[in-house]
Amino acid sequence: MSHNLPTARAQDFTLSSHRVLALQGRDAVSFAQGQFMNDVALLGDGQWQWNGWLTPKGRVIAVFALLRRDAQALWMVLGDVDPAALAPQLQRYVFRSQVSLLARDDLVVQGAFATPAVARGAEAAYGNSSVELDFSGNAGPRCLRVGVMQGAALQSDVSRWRMFDLEHGLPRLPADQAGLWTPQQLSLDRLNAYSLKKGCYPGQEIVARTHYLGKAKRSIARLQGPGLIQGVEITSSDPQDDAPVQAIGRVVCAEGDEGLAVLPLDAGNGPFRADGKPCVRLPLLGGLAR
């Protein structure tokens, strides 16, 4: 259904790191179902879900919002991956499928810390020139819009958007973190971002075995401290303690003085250190699952 969504408001800002890869054609849905880790077949027209693409060894290449526009069109809203680089990687698996992959450079992604005008939960809303998605969580309302628009990238708002993602456990994977972590290590079950019931997809056997054999030994943790830098090791003790310093995890992504790190399930609440500086564990917020 089409709605008259409001035009860009003062609080809207461009998310320049967010771009769109479109899947178009008769086999678009079936192709996505066979490649991506969530159950695309559950989506109706105008609905979206968190999803991802894995290596054959079950490591996460990209996490994205997947919107089904209709039976022959899907949009991948990518937060950290260049769609022009991802498209040829996916193209290798198209074979005889009737699907085209197109980086939509004409589309702008905007965010706002405001209640969506129409969209709610997993239900998107269509306007004359944009699509609205509800990216809200327990920290408050948040709206994402994709369309042919103009806007400005306000760095303070972009940083706040990224921080909101991290607070709710949505990992932002830079290029050097892609292909390193399993969905379980990134706790993507919190976002309902992968399926254990659908058919085969790259990495599915690893994901299922890890789950059903209870082999998940690590998960995502939200940390706060001055030494949280992407890729830095997390150690388990304070140098003043008698216990030896031991690396137990690594920061996946960070913004400001907060970051998401993969830690052992039994790591507890610390003390931890990052880059030799103390950091504390904070609870992950909910409400972002779709």
Q: pLDDT tens for the chain, 290 residues: list them.
A: 456 665 545 589 999 999 999 999 999 999 999 999 999 999 999 999 999 999 999 999 999 999 999 999 999 999 999 999 999 999 999 999 999 999 999 999 999 999 999 999 999 999 888 999 999 999 999 999 999 887 676 788 999 999 999 999 999 999 999 999 999 999 999 999 999 999 899 999 999 999 998 888 999 999 999 999 999 999 987 655 566 678 999 999 999 999 999 999 999 998 899 999 999 999 999 999 99
Tens-place pLDDT, residues 31-54: 999 999 999 999 999 999 999 999
Fold (topology level) of 13-170: Alpha-Beta Plaits (3.30.70)
Task: Map out the domains of the chain as residue ranges.
Answer: 13-170, 217-283
CATH classification of 217-283, choosing from 2.40.30, 1.10.287, 3.30.780, 3.10.450?
Answer: 2.40.30
Tell me the pairing of strands 108-112 and 60-70. unpaired
Tens-place pLDDT, residues 92-113: 999 999 999 999 999 999 999 9
Q: Do residues 108 and 149 touch, judged by C-beta distance below 8 A?
A: yes
